[in-house]
Structure 1
Amino acid sequence: MRLDRELNRAELEAFAAELDGLRQAVVADLGEADARYIRRVRSVVRLCCWSGRALLMLGWFPPTWLLGTLLLGLGKILENMELGHNVMHGQYDWMNDPQLSGRDYEWDIVGPADFWRHTHNHMHHTWTNVIGMDDDVGYGVVRLFPEQRWKPFYRWQPLWVTLQALLFQYAVAIQHLRLDQWFKGRIGSDEVRPLARQFGAKLLRQWGKDYLLFPLLALLLGANALAVLAGNALANLLRNLWTFLVIFCGHFTERAAVFSKESVVGESRGRWYLRQLRGSSNLQGGKLLHILTGNLSHQIEHHLFPDLPARRYAELAPRVREIAARYGQVYNTGRLSSQFFSVLRRIWIYRLPPASSGQ
């Protein structure tokens, strides 16, 4: 339960000014160290993926197959979280590197990057945790807050969430198709069809690479194609599960808040900052955890400053926490295990209608 103090207009203006000042200080300091870091991440991604794929060519021999799968999975996680997600936020546009352009980057999952740039960068980050405006609140299949209207299929949401975790890259991809609106007749087939074609083309490219090209290459080299196929499938599964874990623990913990459409009418800069703070959850851990999460372990700082290089969030976090404390705001942070447990608790409790779940 959150116990944030409400801020008056003057306090909101001062709150926004302090956070704007933090942002401007980082922008003024961006330089070679940031560029070197993201290029190093890109090199590590390539090294992990290609060395993993090479080891998978050695067949089912347990040490090499397992190591190859883990390296490929690690490369996919880093590409998804620390490279692709952050680059597509425009965090490195100031470098003027075409390969690190937020508008042009295409990542290694089945969802087209253009879909993500709209549903995530625009819709989610603009309307974070606003029910009816941010589709990430439950992704349309999960009830995680008492403010969400209960529907009968929520009774089975532990099953829906499990499937979503296993197939997370597909759940993210089809979100942009707005199939729920199509089924309800609110949008027409002419609007959905070109998006479905774009999704289908990206899906075929990803499947063709992981489940056709490299297994065929294994056959040509006299290697075990099935071992390569299985390694690719498991690497994608590991990436799906990790991404699901990070995203849900960053948004749907016990102390994360949601908001009504009415509450954001005429929203000021300070009120927007406040909503990002109240709707986000951080994860405590070491440097490795931060890198593997794409620094979304600092979800609060990411929601406050989505276009700043994520490697800077760790240095911003103590200052954001201190500002939040001075303004009487909860800074929601905790260990990965405790944050995930609170997410699971929400999933279990809010599967039931209000009277049954004790609301």
Structure 2
Amino acid sequence: MKTRSRALNPEELQRFGEELDALRKRTVATLGERDARYIRRSISAVRWLEVAGRAALFAGAFIHTILIPAWILGVLMLGLAKILENMTVGHNVIHGQYDWMGDPQLQGKTYEWDIVATSEYWRKTHNFRHHTYTNVRGMDDDIGYGLLRIFPEQKWKPFYLLQPPIAVIFCLLFEWGVAIQDLRLGRFLSGKMSFGKLWAQTRPVAKKAGRQVLKDYVIFPLLAGPFFLPVLLGNLAANVMRSIWTYVVIFCGHFTADAETFPKEVLRNESRGHWYLRQLRGSSNISGGRVIDVLTGDLSHQIEHHFFPDVPANRYAEMAVEVRQICKRYGQHYNTGSLFKQFGQVSWRILRHSFPSRPRRKTALVKLPSMPVVDVTPEPMQQPG
């Protein structure tokens, strides 16, 4: 059964937001060498894991006696390198978490990551649209990604009866789904977009995807000569490994039993405190300690990430201690659970809502009079003194 949070009055809501703002400000003021060291060590780990993984794939191809164990080891190391590059490095750098360092290679507006999706489209669909309009129906395209009905508030169609197998396919090809998310293929198929406009939007994605395909499925396999196929399959397996893990982490962070969606009306005159509250109600954490934190790029702390998307993610674990205390003081549910528990809830939602379902009645968490619009954009981080 869903855990309820109590309603906040306007004064409580304002203090709730102010306490979270203060936590962010204190954390940003202490950013420095340990944060820079963390991201640089993460980049180094990605590079060495990729080199070791590709070397093991080649060793398995050339030395027949160790073919199978070397191939498996190569896939695991290369897959781990891709996971860490996307989650610990790419995702966090693109959010601008390390802009304060002044390193041109770690700037959120220019970083390009090792995935078929372009960082430009990701900044648009994820950094802006998803983080600004988190779980707002009709505004946040991450609600089901246009393929899945995960919440009962989404209108049911017979197509959703197919969503269990579609979800599996989407999981295996998740990086490709993310790559084409902003192309709006549904608008083209319904005649609301011209082919010319679709092609103009597709060209950057096709160019980026072409480079990725050439690297992983042509160049490196060709270097293996007659053992082209084992290396190609190893690269494919590593990419699928990354897609599966990324899918699981993202879905556990947004689509558990306690996660909520919201109508567009919540955006009307939304205050800073109300924005924080919506992020809290639409996000879920994954418990499991430092190993899970590292493997998810600290997106195991999805609540903290949605509160503070431009704060270095390696700070989320320590910030979470105070975030939980703040939530407790204001009677707000802090949604966290093991990976097994959270993904079990996600899987059940995918199965359950493939059939017709109606939303339960909800008790409003906030009863507010009309309030003036408040700018909820976080202040830019400055380089630590």
| TM-score of the two chains, using structure 2 as the length reference | 0.90
SS of residue matched to 1:214:
helix
Question: What are the within-5 Å matches in structure 2 for residues 116-131 of structure 1?
Answer: 116-131=122-137
Match of 1:261 among 260, 264, 283: 264
Partners of 1:184 and 1:315 in 2: CA distance:
48
Residue in 2 aligned with 1:308? 311
Match of 1:328 among 331, 336, 339: 331
Question: What are the within-5 Å matches in structure 2 for residues 109-258 of structure 1?
Answer: 109-219=115-225, 224-258=227-261
Question: What are the within-5 Å matches in structure 2 for residues 33-72 of structure 1?
Answer: 33-60=34-61, 61-72=67-78
Partners of 1:181 and 1:22 in 2: CA distance:
42
SS of residue matched to 2:153:
coil
Partners of 2:168 and 2:360 in 1: CA distance:
24
* 1:270 pairs with 2:273: yes
Structure 1 residue 184: Cα displacement: 2.4
Residue in 2 aligned with 1:5? 6
- Residue 358 to residue 18, structure 1, CA distance change in 2 (3 Å): closer
Q: Deviations over 1:108-127 (max 9, x none)?
A: 11111101000000000000
- Please, which runs of 5 or more residues in structure 2 have no aligned partner? 62-66, 362-385
Paired residues of 1:59 and 1:224 also in contact (CA < 8 A) = no
Identical residues among aligned pairs (%): 56
Match of 1:93 among 79, 99, 109: 99
Partners of 1:324 and 1:120 in 2: CA distance:
25
* 1:81 pairs with 2:87: yes
Partners of 2:240 and 2:4 in 1: CA distance:
38
The amino acid that maps onto 1:31 is G
The amino acid that maps onto 2:112 is E
Q: Deviations over 1:230-286 (max 9, x none)?
A: 110000010000000000000000001110001221111100000000100000012
Partners of 1:23 and 1:188 in 2: CA distance:
44
Match of 2:344 among 338, 341, 345: 341
Q: Deviations over 1:2-48 (max 9, x none)?
A: 41112121111111100000000111000010001000000000000
The amino acid that maps onto 2:37 is R
Structure 1 residue 358: Cα displacement: 9.7
Higher alpha-carbon deviation: 60-69 or 93-102: 60-69
Partners of 1:27 and 1:238 in 2: CA distance:
34
The amino acid that maps onto 2:171 is A
Paired residues of 1:58 and 1:224 also in contact (CA < 8 A) = no
Residue in 1 aligned with 2:298? 295
SS of residue matched to 1:311:
helix
Residue in 2 aligned with 1:18? 19
SS of residue matched to 1:59:
helix
- Residue 156 to residue 358, structure 1, CA distance change in 2 (3 Å): farther
SS of residue matched to 1:354:
coil
SS of residue matched to 2:224:
helix
| TM-score of the two chains, using structure 1 as the length reference | 0.96
Partners of 1:116 and 1:272 in 2: CA distance:
22
Partners of 2:263 and 2:250 in 1: CA distance:
21
